[in-house]
Amino acid sequence: MCGIIGITYWSGEAPPDEALLRRMLGIIRHRGPDEFGLYLDGRAGIGSARLAIVDLETGQQPIPNEDESLWIVFNGEVYNHPELRADLERRGHRFRTRSDTEVILHLYEEYGPESLHQLNGQFAIAIWDARRGELFLARDRLGVRPIFYTLLPGGLAFASEIKALLLIPGVEARLEPYGLAQAFTFWAPQPPRTAFEGIRELPPGHYLRAAGSTPAIIRYWRLNFPRAGEELRLSEEEAAEELRALLTDATRLRLRADVPVGSYLSGGLDSTLVAALARLHIPHTLCTFSIAFEERAFDEREYQEVATAFLGTDHRRTECTNADIAAVFPQVVWHAEAPLLRTAPAPLYMLSRLVRESGIKVVLTGEGADEFLGGYNIYKEDKVRRFWAAAPDSALRPLLLRRLYPYVGHLAQAGDAHLRAFFGRDLLAVDRPGYSHWIRWQNTSRLWLFFSSGLRGALDGYDPVGELLDSLDGDLRSWSPLAQAQYLEVTTFLSPYLLSSQGDRVAMAHSVEGRFPFLDHRVVEFCNRLPPHFKLKGLREKHILRKSAEGLVPPPVWQRRKQPYRAPIAPAFLTCPPDYVGALLAPEAVRAAGIFDPEGVTRLVRKLQSSSVVSEREEMALVGILSTQLLHFLFVENFPPQIIPEADPVRVCRAGRTRMDTGGHG
């Protein structure tokens, strides 16, 4: 794992500034504090802040090919690199290291962009072709690892995090109205858009090529499903066996490392199964890590203890209080670089800190199971609403919705009439693309009411949902309703939010790499071909995964109903709040930032402070407003920070010459 950066100028008249590149590495030092490296020539400078996990001794980056015409920096892991290396050696390629990074470079040398199809892993790749003056950037299929870029006069710059790009003279930090509108609709800006003007994110499953002109951005992989009724024909037993075999191999590959590997264990089915599969391959004790909450409604320690006793792991747990969430939230926003509509990333930030303090750099996690095996309530909601729409006058069918959201106060306590009104909006529009997510998007976009008049004016006529639906895969309508919902969940939520703000950003803040067996592309493609009722049987989520887990996971865990991962919001910020909360939500601060309506924010805070009944939308509004105010404070008003951690010493390669600088640079 690493952080990567680079600047290219096509003409070569003004070579990249080495001091600037060093500062860019320094500001993302947390991503890879073990080693720092730069390659420089007259037109390009690329660099790496390395978290050493594979080939600890010789895997320093940047790495060249044999004649040094190609140079690579790489963030991520390629789990099948030994097999790929053996084939490349048979083809005559010579290696200087044992790293997966060098395997990617030679594979690209052999096959070009088609090489991406051979990679099993998570990656953000940058390759500079010094001979042709061409930059190649690529991102993994599902967007586990980030890469951002911005166009410069006569060039292009890229980085693993936006903050590195904002150090470049002429690149100003300005929040982008459309990016904010998307965040307050889908929970995150949708690639290629970000929360910042002029900064773009390479979408998952895409690569970029640039050589002195507008970059060409090309999709090399897409999320796909069979036509409805054309899914795999196999028995449940066959499907469960095949799924277990794929997950077992995916986990085996993700244990490849030259450092110890641990595992997150929430007490739910997904993470417990991953830990159980890892336990099959680890002869010594497996370290597992979890979060516990002071508020019982969020706490899962009972199931964590059942799972760890069954698996016999060395378990460590961090206790998260409401005060902890408020205390770390500014650091979480600094790393997320986007508005947040949930506090859930904050406990995960604390969890990754515990992992690092325990001497572990790599953890397995269970992300992806809910998306690809039917684990979310939004899939059940879609199924029930379609069932209700077939008999819209039924008084009984909408009552099934009461079973879905016991943790959402205003829905759990609402009467039947309110339930029908809330979920009955556009009930009969079952043929509309986006039907499954329509209510969520409409409910979240009501937060636009808190926007300032200036921001609403800038957004006049902008429809993020319409923009998204116009961009959808043309085959979407031919898929089953569940497949359509899965596609939308993965595209709008998993990649831009869950794998970012709750994944890469909070883990890499403490130099911890997450690995995801459920996101192995072989697992994903198999799950996508399964019949819908194997995933969602009636209203029983992840049916086939439960069958696969029997015998590996204790019954209380694999039989339990899914408990969504959530964290407190209003109590964290409004009960004994830290000073920054009042300062940033004060009318004068809100007015100065210009993003939200000061009077609306004041009314919201007063209501949350005085009322015992708080709606989910009001809590989303509070954390969304506070996180955006923090984003403005950290990046627009006070960037760059006074102290940028040094990237030091830096290994510098220049056109065939390499030297090590040992001090005095930041």
Q: What are the tokens at 130?
A: 């010094």
E strands, 305-447, are 314-320, 362-364
pTM of the model: 0.95
pLDDT digits (tens, 9 = 90+) for 178-210: 999 999 999 999 999 999 999 999 999 999 999
Average pLDDT score over residue span 135-147:
98
Mean pLDDT of the chain: 94
Q: Which residue has the higher pLDDT, 664 or 455?
A: 455
Q: For residues 521 and 122, what is the distance between their CA atoms, to the nearest angstrom?
A: 10
pLDDT for res 666: 28
Write down all domains in the chain, each with its CATH number in brackets: 2-221+650-661 (3.60.20.10), 236-372+516-558 (3.40.50.620), 570-637 (no CATH)
Beta-carbon-side half-sphere exposure of residue 257 (alpha carbons within 13 Å): 24
For residues 116, 487, 179, 584, the Cα torsion angle rounded to the nearest 10 degrees is -110
**Cis upstream peptide for 62 (omega within 30°):** yes
pLDDT for res 602: 97
Q: For residues 501 and 333, what is the distance between their CA atoms, to the nearest angstrom?
A: 9
| Sign (positive or negative) of CA dihedral 349, 354, 356, 360 | negative
C-alpha separations of 598 from 451, 586, 621 in Å: 9, 8, 13
Q: For residues 276 and 365, what is the distance between their CA atoms, to the nearest angstrom?
A: 12
Active site residue 320: no
pLDDT digits (tens, 9 = 90+) for 252-302: 999 999 999 999 999 999 999 999 999 998 878 899 999 999 888 889 999
**Band of residue 664 on the pLDDT scale cut at 50, 70, 90:** very low
pLDDT for res 178: 98
Q: For residues 643 and 645, what is the distance between their CA atoms, to the nearest angstrom?
A: 6
Instruction: Provide the angle, in degrees to the nearest 10, between the axes of the packed helices 322-336 and 616-631.
Output: 50
Residue 88, classed as helix, strand or coil, is: helix
pLDDT for res 538: 93
pLDDT digits (tens, 9 = 90+) for 466-507: 999 999 877 899 999 999 999 999 999 999 999 999 999 999
pLDDT digits (tens, 9 = 90+) for 501-552: 999 999 999 999 999 999 999 999 999 999 999 999 999 999 999 999 999 9
Q: Which of 2, 320, 527, 653 is catalytic?
A: 2
The answer to whether residues 222 and 248 touch, using CB atoms and an 8 Å cutoff, is no
